[in-house]
Amino acid sequence: MSETQIEINVGHAVSDISADEWDACACPKIGDGGRADDPFTIHRFLSALESSGSVGPGTGWSPRPLTASIDGKIIAVAPLYVKSHSQGEYIFDFSWAHAYENAGGRYYPKLQVAVPFTPATGRRFLTLPGLESTGQAALVQGAIQLATDNHLSSLHITFCTSAEAEAGAQMGLLERKSQQFHWVNRDYEDFDVFLSDLSSRKRKNIRRERRIANDFGGRIVELTGDQIKPEHWDAFWQFYQDTGARKWGTPYLTRAFFDHVQETMRDDVLLVLAERNGRYIAGALNFIGRQTLFGRYWGCMEDYPCLHFELCYYRAIDYAIRHKLRCVEAGAQGEHKLARGYLPVTTHSLHWVADEGFGRAIEQFLEAEHAAVDQEKEILTSYGPFRKTGDEEE
């Protein structure tokens, strides 16, 4: 299939593209009533960001979705944005921007293939099954051409899959490695069986934390689907605002976003709330994938010891075991997750820089960073909470 047969188009909103055409590339299983592998790249999530004003004018995230078509049929799509800053990405390039601008360049705007505010690994070049190589190449070439034609400094593809990182590197893109902490289900029958896999000290600590957390004087509820009501989102919005104000200055998502999620994605949501004296005081929001539970946001109005660990980590593990999910991704950063059964994993991003000299400097930086990330992952894994061969049982 020759390159000249492929037409690349740049849109102004994912919502302008047919949901059926987008999701045929993002997750064909949806058409058969299945759950998406990655709930963040499907049409209804990305369009909810747009409709709610979480991205678009005034946010620094201007949607420019790419489509690749053959004879008028869309074969591949990518969630592309023009960025006027580097916030909400979680693969930070602030130092690159400072260096480029100190040298007299203009780093912003730049292009970003990503799911805004979502440090979760998933496909970024979304193609029809069987057209992965053709579609990926067309989208990469189209994005680079868009950056070149508009004299933009760079293109960044964040939290892509390892297969996409390998393919992108073969196309000449720079690969960057980073690290997160994920929990992996080893076919555990229940939470106690998971605990039996840990060292005695870590096992005792988790039991102690869970006991303290559940003794906060109220109850913890897990809600999904039609169990979630508007009042639950009202409560969670308060938690999210508090966390957003402390972490980012202002929350990334608008209140309307959660209304869109309630309308179109409540079956893809697990909301864990702590209630005390008839009032919700803390909560954690998760999105449910086909094999993975994605922990996204946490917040509280009252602070109780270990409640954060219970709502965000232990309840997520328990849910994953009960529903036979393969993995829990608990978001960016957090070495404290290591003691709670989450191990370091490598995440990937790809980068293209217009200026050749600056690109070579970044390439050298990334080579050193790769070695550091690999070394840290090895060290942290060795300090993991799981029992070593020969360890005694309790």
Please state the φ and ψ torsions of residue 53, each to the nearest 5 degrees.
Answer: 80, 10
User: Does some domain include residue 363?
Assistant: yes
Among 261, 293, 325, identify where a domain stops: 325
Q: Please tell me the distance from the alpha carbon of residue 271 to that of residue 320, in angstroms, as a whole number.
A: 14
| Cβ–Cβ under 8 Å, residues 262 and 223 | no
Residue 245 has pLDDT above 80, yes or no: no
Q: Mark whether 18 and 145 lie in a shared domain.
A: yes
Q: Domain with 225 in it: what CATH number?
A: 3.40.630.30
Q: Mark whether 234 and 171 lie in a shared domain.
A: no
Supply the pLDDT for residue 29. 73
Q: Mark whether 54 and 109 lie in a shared domain.
A: yes
Question: Of the candidates 44, 46, 28, 48, which has an alpha carbon nearest to the alpha carbon of residue 36?
Answer: 28
Q: Which of 154-163, 240-249, 320-329 has the lowest mean pLDDT?
A: 240-249
Q: Mark whether 243 and 319 lie in a shared domain.
A: yes
Question: Of the candidates 273, 270, 248, 252, which has an alpha carbon nearest to the alpha carbon of residue 261?
Answer: 270
Strand 327-332 relative to strand 174-184, pairing: antiparallel
Residue 6 has pLDDT above 60, yes or no: yes
Q: Provide the pLDDT confidence category of residue 325 given band limits of 50, 70 and 90.
A: very high
Residue 95 has pLDDT above 60, yes or no: yes
Residue 2 has pLDDT above 50, yes or no: no
228 vs 338 pLDDT, higher one: 228
Q: Mark whether 26 and 70 lie in a shared domain.
A: yes
Average pLDDT for residues 248-265, to the nearest whole number?
A: 91
Strand 269-276 relative to strand 219-224, pairing: antiparallel
Q: Mark whether 311 and 165 lie in a shared domain.
A: no
User: Does some domain include residue 330?
Assistant: no
- The upper half-sphere exposure of residue 347, i.e. CA atoms within 13 Å in the direction of its Cβ, equals 23
Give CA separation, 212 vs 145, 207, 218, 237, 330, in Å. Answer: 56, 9, 12, 26, 21
Q: Mark whether 251 and 283 lie in a shared domain.
A: yes
Q: Mark whether 195 and 248 lie in a shared domain.
A: yes
pTM for this one?
0.94
Supply the pLDDT for residue 1. 42
- Domain hosting 128: range is 3-179+345-381
User: Does some domain include residue 390?
Assistant: no
Residue 32 has pLDDT above 70, yes or no: no
Average pLDDT for residues 111-129, to the nearest whole number?
A: 97
Supply the pLDDT for residue 394. 47
Q: Mark whether 100 and 229 lie in a shared domain.
A: no
User: Does some domain include residue 333?
Assistant: no
Q: Please tell me the distance from the alpha carbon of residue 381 to that of residue 379, in angstroms, as a whole number.
A: 5
Count of domains for the chain: 2
3-class secondary structure, 292? strand
| Cβ–Cβ under 8 Å, residues 213 and 307 | yes
User: Does some domain include residue 338?
Assistant: no
Supply the pLDDT for residue 4. 56
Supply the pLDDT for residue 243. 72
Residue type, 14: V
Percent of the chain with pLDDT over 90: 87
Q: Mark whether 305 and 163 lie in a shared domain.
A: no
Q: Please tell me the distance from the alpha carbon of residue 12 to that of residue 203, in angstroms, as a whole number.
A: 51
| Tally of helices (H runs) and strands (E runs) in the chain | 12, 15
User: Does some domain include residue 167?
Assistant: yes
Q: Mark whether 145 and 235 lie in a shared domain.
A: no
Q: Mark whether 190 and 301 lie in a shared domain.
A: yes
User: Does some domain include residue 16?
Assistant: yes
Supply the pLDDT for residue 152. 98
Percent of the chain with pLDDT over 70: 95
User: Does some domain include residue 223?
Assistant: yes
Question: Of the candidates 136, 112, 110, 134, which has an alpha carbon nearest to the alpha carbon of residue 123?
Answer: 136
